[in-house]
Amino acid sequence: QHDQAWWKSAVVYQVYPRSFADHDGDGIGDLAGLTGRLDHIAGLGADVLWLSPVYPSPQADNGYDISDYQDVDPVFGDLAAFDRLLAAVHERGMKLVMDLVVNHTSDEHPWFQESRDPGSPKRGWYWWRPPRDGREPNNWGSFFSGSAWTRDEASNAYYLHLFSPKQPDLNWENPEMRQAVHAMMRWWLDRGVDGFRMDVVNLISKDPALPDGVLRGDGLFGDGSPHYVCGPRVHEYLHEMYREVIARYPGRLLTVGEMPGVTVEQARLFTDPRRGEVDMVFQFEHVGLDHGRNKFDPRPLRLTDLKASLGRWQAGLADVGWNSLYWNNHDQPRVVSRFGDDSSAHRTRSATMLGTVLHLHRGTPYVYQGEELGMANAPLRTIEDFRDVESLNHYAEALRAGAEPEDVLPGLRAMGRDNARTPMQWDASPQAGFTTGTPWLPVNPDHTEVNAASALADPNSVYHHYRRLIALRHTEPAVVHGDFTMLLPDDERIYAFTREFGGTRLLVAGNFTGETVSAELPHGWAESEVILDNGPSPRAEPGRLVLAPWEARVHRQV
């Protein structure tokens, strides 16, 4: 019965509303703009729209700092505009999944404001601690540089924030707080939304002793992660949320937990349907393979590492649980620039190769806005070009420690989150059709070439290739259910695997280089039908798989 879960054959399209479509001309995308562009998403064949946060927020982290869980920020519209969006999504046969950000709130949320009073019943909803020897209660560093603690003068106490000081962590040990979150979730589900993408939800349980962490490489702060990544009560909290909220809407919802640092073993527990926690998780292993000492110290990806990692996740969740599949989201650099080649000679082929390899894995694929156009990293030059709190804080901390701008900027240019956040490229007009005003982050100048209008008109575009990938998932059960077997694990250039379901076998091969490559064709595939490709192939050699630069192919045998 569980194999029939609708989200196993679904494809999710993520919208980062700030950067998608601006209706009112203030330079920031909004709900009316998104509603007007839904046919772009429906036309791709996507089943689900995941909407990054639109709740009222001071926007210290572009909406991942929420000051009211049950309303819409005026910059995006209002609840009526939200209801119109939801109805328009449902009219097109799609579902709408909201972002649920409950590891932390904004410091401007009334809950936190009340909690600043030590006598308030809300004091226990956050992690307030007295100073230790006149300083922070422990040595943890935050994800966004600096200490994970900020002192509030009102009570001379510190509060914990794993992200920015504008994002105090909720204390999930507190049952009233958990009930308030559950009630808020039911309020949205009763309004008609179809599930949640749960922000850093594997960080919600902290070891209440809050022990010091081992000093990190930079020597500035301790690594607290062993005390809050998949912490002691996380499964209990997620099961309680399932029981109190999710299980009340049987068969309708999709839940995905965003889980930095999650292991395959933990993911099996989180996604085992018998346990009742979440349908799938976002893991981070494959997007960390090109990190050095930290994410801003990138190194080249080794294809064999990527295959070993994704292959292990395929095997680990083969009999229990389910994978989510992604290259991109609003936190990651653009995949065509990162693992492909965004030059005009290779952009379309490398983007379609990457899409093919990802979508043919077993799991639910996620497409991040613009990925279906082959959108590339932003031309970020000086620090003035950056907007993201993570990049700005990292830069300031590095300079304080004595670094020169040119030591730090290359890492920010390659890995900074603003790369994913430049406006959606609708057409070749001056602001790419995103806004009639001044966009909050400049449009990528390559929009004169790379845009939705030209992609729709070109049957060989990245957009139409993604459309064919999604259609294949909807029509070929082997794509959804087939067993996964990795081939050529030691090959540094070719990503190849098979999928098998019933009598059907698929062979998927992608060339991760700009050269023609070949390998021995696995036995029995010589005469098979090619059901999907991304352009012309070199002349076949007997018994060999020969791939043009960045070529991808899917073969089928029945």
- Residue numbers annotated as active site: 199, 258
Assign residue 121 a region: left if phi > 0, alpha if psi is -120 to 50, beta otherwise?
A: alpha
Indicate the residue among 168 and 549 with the shorter CB distance to ligand ISL: 168
Residue 182 DSSP symbol = H
Indicate the residue among 61 and 551 with the shorter CB distance to ligand ISL: 61
Collapsed DSSP state (helix, strand, coil) of residue 109: coil
Q: How far is the CB of 64 from ligand ISL (least distance, A)?
A: 3
Q: How far is the CB of 283 from ligand ISL (least distance, A)?
A: 11
**Which of 43, 88, 143, 397 is in the footprint of ligand ISL by CB under 6 A?**
143
**Which of 97, 102, 200, 517 is in the footprint of ligand ISL by CB under 6 A?**
200
Q: How far is the CB of 63 from ligand ISL (least distance, A)?
A: 9
Indicate the residue among 366 and 550 with the shorter CB distance to ligand ISL: 366
Interstrand relation of 483-487 and 494-501 (parallel, antiparallel or unpaired): antiparallel
Q: How far is the CB of 81 from ligand ISL (least distance, A)?
A: 23
Helices in 328-427 by DSSP H: which ranges? 335-338, 347-359, 389-400, 405-415
Give bridge partners of residue 324 from the DSSP assignment: 364
CA neighbor of 534 nearest in space, from 266, 350, 274, 262: 350
CA neighbor of 238 nearest in space, from 102, 374, 131: 102
Other Cβ atoms within 10 Å of 518 Cβ, number: 15
Interaction of residue 163 with ligand ISL, rule CB under 6 A:
yes
Indicate the residue among 294 and 343 with the shorter CB distance to ligand ISL: 294
**Which of 194, 342, 390, 533 is in the footprint of ligand ISL by CB under 6 A?**
390
Tell me, residue by residue from 97 to 126, as one string, x for binding to ligand ISL by CB under 6 A and - for no binding. Answer: ----x-------------------------
Interaction of residue 466 with ligand ISL, rule CB under 6 A:
no
**What span, in angstroms and rounded, lies between the C-alpha atoms of 18 and 30?**
6
Collapsed DSSP state (helix, strand, coil) of residue 415: helix
Q: How far is the CB of 204 from ligand ISL (least distance, A)?
A: 12
Q: How far is the CB of 268 from ligand ISL (least distance, A)?
A: 21
Tell me, residue by residue from 260 to 289, as one string, x for binding to ligand ISL by CB under 6 A and - for no binding. Answer: x-----------------------------
Given the structure tokens 């991040």, which residue do they identify?
A: 368
Interaction of residue 331 with ligand ISL, rule CB under 6 A:
yes
**What span, in angstroms and rounded, lies between the C-alpha atoms of 392 and 397?**
9
CB-based burial of residue 323 (10 Å sphere; 0-12 exposed, 13-18 middle, 19+ buried)?
Answer: buried
Indicate the residue among 205 and 431 with the shorter CB distance to ligand ISL: 205
Give bridge partners of residue 365 from the DSSP assignment: 325
Considering only residues 496 to 555 of the shown chain, the ones binding ligand ISL according to CB under 6 A are none
Other Cβ atoms within 10 Å of 380 Cβ, number: 21
**What span, in angstroms and rounded, lies between the C-alpha atoms of 402 and 173?**
40
Interaction of residue 418 with ligand ISL, rule CB under 6 A:
no
Q: What share of the chain is helix, strand, coil (3-state, %, to 5)?
A: 35, 20, 50
* Residue facing ligand ISL at closest CB distance: 64
Q: How far is the CB of 555 from ligand ISL (least distance, A)?
A: 36
Q: How far is the CB of 496 from ligand ISL (least distance, A)?
A: 30
Give bridge partners of residue 38 from the DSSP assignment: none
Assign residue 374 a region: left if phi > 0, alpha if psi is -120 to 50, beta otherwise?
A: left
Interaction of residue 161 with ligand ISL, rule CB under 6 A:
no
Could you tell me how many residues of this chain bind ligand ISL (CB under 6 A)? 14
* Residue environment code for 399-428, b if the CB has 16+ CB neighbours within 10 A, otherwise e: eeeeeeeeebbebbbbbbbbbbbbbbbbee
Q: How far is the CB of 57 from ligand ISL (least distance, A)?
A: 11
Indicate the residue among 83 and 223 with the shorter CB distance to ligand ISL: 223
**Which of 7, 16, 64, 158 is in the footprint of ligand ISL by CB under 6 A?**
64
Interstrand relation of 552-557 and 504-511 (parallel, antiparallel or unpaired): antiparallel
**Which of 30, 73, 169, 199 is in the footprint of ligand ISL by CB under 6 A?**
199
Indicate the residue among 178 and 330 with the shorter CB distance to ligand ISL: 330
Give bridge partners of residue 146 from the DSSP assignment: none
The secondary element (H helix, E strand) that includes residue 480 is: helix 477-481
Indicate the residue among 35 and 225 with the shorter CB distance to ligand ISL: 225
Could you tell me if 355 and 465 are in contact, meaning their C-beta atoms sit under 8 angstroms apart? Answer: yes
Q: How far is the CB of 155 from ligand ISL (least distance, A)?
A: 25
Give bridge partners of residue 141 from the DSSP assignment: 147
Indicate the residue among 326 and 495 with the shorter CB distance to ligand ISL: 326
Considering only residues 342 to 381 of the shown chain, the ones binding ligand ISL according to CB under 6 A are none
Indicate the residue among 179 and 294 with the shorter CB distance to ligand ISL: 294
Considering only residues 231 to 260 of the shown chain, the ones binding ligand ISL according to CB under 6 A are 258, 260
**Which of 22, 30, 47, 61 is in the footprint of ligand ISL by CB under 6 A?**
61
Given the structure tokens 């009211």, which residue do they identify?
A: 68
* Residue environment code for 215-245, b if the CB has 16+ CB neighbours within 10 A, otherwise e: ebeeeebbbbbebbbbbeebbebbbbbbebb
Chain residues binding ligand ISL by CB under 6 A are 61, 64, 101, 143, 163, 199-200, 258, 260, 295, 330-331, 390, 417
